[in-house]
Amino acid sequence: MACAIVCGESSPSHITLFRCLNRTLDSIKDNIAIIFANILGCQADTDENFRSEDLVPSSFEELLEKWGEDNHLIDQDWFSRKKNAGNDQDPQAEFNVLDTMLKDSLERLKTMRESISVAKIGFLGCTLKANYSEHMDIIRGLCVDGKLGSAFWLRRKMMKKGIIPDVSTHNYLLNGLCKAGDLEKANLLIREMLEMGPAPNCVTYNTFIKGYCLLDKVDKALYLFSTMGNSGIRPNSITCNILVHALCKKGLAENARKLLEEILDDDDDDEKTDSGIITLTTLMDGYLKNGNMVQALSLWVDIQRNTQVDVIAYNVLIRGFCLSRQMNLAYGYFCEMTKRGLHPDVFTCNTLISGLCKERKFEEACYIHGIMPRMGITPDKVSYKIIIQGLCIQGDVVKAHEFLLSMLEKSMVPEPLIWNCIIDCYGRYGDLSNAVSVKDQMFAFGVQPNVYTYNALIHAQVKGGNIIDALSLEKDMLLSGLFPDVVTYNMLIGGACNSGHLEFATELYHKMLKIGLDPDIYTYTELIRGNCKRGNIKEAENVLAKIQASGLPIDDVPFQILFKKYCKMREPDKASGIYEKWLARRNELPSLRT
């Protein structure tokens, strides 16, 4: 024992005292080692030069050395005196000295422990702060990726530990719920924010209002807007833009104007200037869509007077004039736009091309398309799509095909709709070779034909009287993994009836029923026409009875076909019976009266 060695010979009572003291100090030493190992051990990976064993004494003698020079000298002097004193020892003096030494050592240990605790708290505080930021970033990332379940799970874990995510993170969660259309959970989330924190801000309300507007629940959005003031939150320009856009979309432009005035009256002049161009442009667009040109032009004057007009505002105005078929005014504002130094963009040109095509002014539309590169504007797929569709409607399939080839030269592969328009246009004019050639070209550029592509080819074959080739196209559809629709079978049945192949038409009709397609009025009309042409009048009347029993909306054509057939057969009684049925049907459906 260390104390016994230092003190030399002692009485049994002294030895017992020293043993107790030694065990006490050994216990203190072990506790120090445990404290340093648990607390400082977590930092060992970050600082290789910092080790707990450098601070914790490895022996009792080392602990005595670390007490300080003063205590060490007192200890040596006292023990040396006692060693030379022989048997005249004072037990009370020994106890007092040892008691002093123990108190001093405990005070030093207390100081060391407090310093270690402060270090530990600082370290853990930094760790918690880092973990908090990391968890916030994870929740926001999950919301952006649409993984709301995982985001809310992490939020619950944090809140169980007493950590509440900030309002920005809650806004991410709310935005994810609104995009998913789950406004009930969004409402519950805001209630939790009001009860437990963090307090909602203007972004929170804007997100929730936009969620209601996306679901066309403008009334609830307006009610939520009215509650913002009760929560001490002031609406901003974004709030105004969301509500004005939603009201204009529902055709309530006048209500949007009143709301705009209410919000902007409470704003300062700087905010009015910053937000005015967006809000007023949205409101002007609403007036133009409703055909209210007077109010729209009045707003346009306000925009020019109070704000800096941009390209978007001109685009909205030009689009409004194109919708109202006032192309001269659209051209006029297009020229004014360029004179003011505002460069038109691709949307401006596409709007003009679309308006000109609707007016069937295809030469002017092609001119606008041609000068776009000279204005520094590259035509996009929408530009080509508008003009190709317009030319196909006009019947100028050759010019439309030239625009298609121009797209391909610029490495712009169009969508199947463009190919189908040209194929159908070739088919309508009986040019089967070019129709098939465009389909092959479509394959070559990696665009897979769809049902509409085959329907356009079948229509071309049927129009050319090639019913066998048309039926082979139906088989090609099935081999390509495409399933014919009702339109496909109606064209095939009509083509078979017109070519006198009534057995093919009947077979196709039963095939429709077998694969689960419901025949419509056009299907039955073609069967009536085919049977009348073959002379199967009784079968034609049975088909008419099927139409009436099915509850399908029926027009005048089936009755007209049977009526004319009986007239040609010079059977006035039967013709009169069909005419009476025809009149009875028209009386049942007043909308069919002429």
> What CATH number does residue 499 fall under?
1.25.40.10
Eight-state DSSP code of residue 309: -
296, part of any domain: no
Whether the Cβ atoms of residue 128 and residue 151 lie closer than 8 Å to each other: no
Query: What amino acid is encoded at 552 in this protein?
Result: L
Domain stops at, among 91, 126, 161: 126
Domain for residue 522, yes or no?
yes
Confirm whether 474 is domain-assigned: no
pTM of this structure: 0.63
Q: Alpha-carbon torsion 142, 143, 147, 152, what sign?
A: positive
| Residue 483: DSSP 8-state | -
Q: What is the DSSP string of 55-104?
A: TS-SSHHHHHHTT-HHHHHHHHHHHHHHHHTTT---HHHHHHHHHHHHHH
**Residue of 36, 27, 71 lying closest to 54 (CA atoms):** 36
Domain region containing 26:
2-126
pLDDT truncated to tens, each residue of the chain (594 aa)? 444 433 444 444 444 444 555 555 555 555 555 544 444 444 444 444 433 344 444 444 444 454 444 444 444 444 444 444 444 555 555 556 666 766 766 776 666 555 544 444 444 445 555 577 888 888 889 999 989 999 999 898 888 888 888 999 999 999 999 988 898 998 899 888 888 888 889 999 899 999 988 888 888 888 888 888 777 888 887 888 888 888 888 777 777 777 776 665 555 544 444 456 787 888 888 888 888 888 888 888 888 877 788 899 899 999 999 988 889 999 899 988 988 889 999 999 999 999 999 999 999 999 999 999 999 999 999 999 999 999 999 999 999 999 999 999 999 999 999 999 999 999 888 888 899 899 999 989 999 999 999 999 999 888 888 888 898 998 989 888 899 999 999 999 999 998 888 888 999 999 999 989 999 999 999 999 999 988 888 899 898 888 888 878 888 888 889 888 888 888 888 888 888 888 877 666 544 434
d(CA 509, CA 581): 25
Please tell me the distance from the alpha carbon of residue 122 to that of residue 118, in angstroms, as a whole number.
6
Domain endpoint, select from 126, 147, 179: 126
Residue 51 lies in a domain: yes
- Supply the pLDDT for residue 173: 93
Reading the block at residue 77, the tokens are 């002097």
Find out whether the peptide bond into 416 is cis, omega within 30 degrees of 0. no
Please give the tally of structural domains in the chain: 2
Q: Which amino acid is at 378?
A: T
Q: Is residue 580 part of a domain?
A: yes
Separation in Å, CA 449 to CA 306, 423, 429, 458: 53, 11, 21, 13
Determine contact, residues 509/523, Cβ cutoff 8 Å. Answer: yes
Judge whether 216 lies within some domain.
Answer: no
Q: Is residue 463 part of a domain?
A: no
Q: Which residues of 114-152 are buried (b: 16+ CB within 10 A; e: fewer)?
A: eebeeebeeeeeeeeeeeeeebbeebbebbeeeebeebb
Q: Has residue 10 been placed in a domain?
A: yes
Q: Which long-range contacts (CB under 8 A, 24 or more apart) does 162-166 make?
A: 163/132, 163/135, 164/196, 164/197, 164/198, 165/135, 165/136, 165/139, 165/198, 166/136, 166/198
Name the 3-class secondary structure at 286.
Answer: helix
Burial bucket for residue 448 (CB in 10 Å: 0-12, 13-18, 19+) = exposed
- Supply the pLDDT for residue 53: 42
Rounded to whole angstroms, the Cα distance separating 462 from 452 reads 15
Domain termination site, one of 126, 142, 174: 126
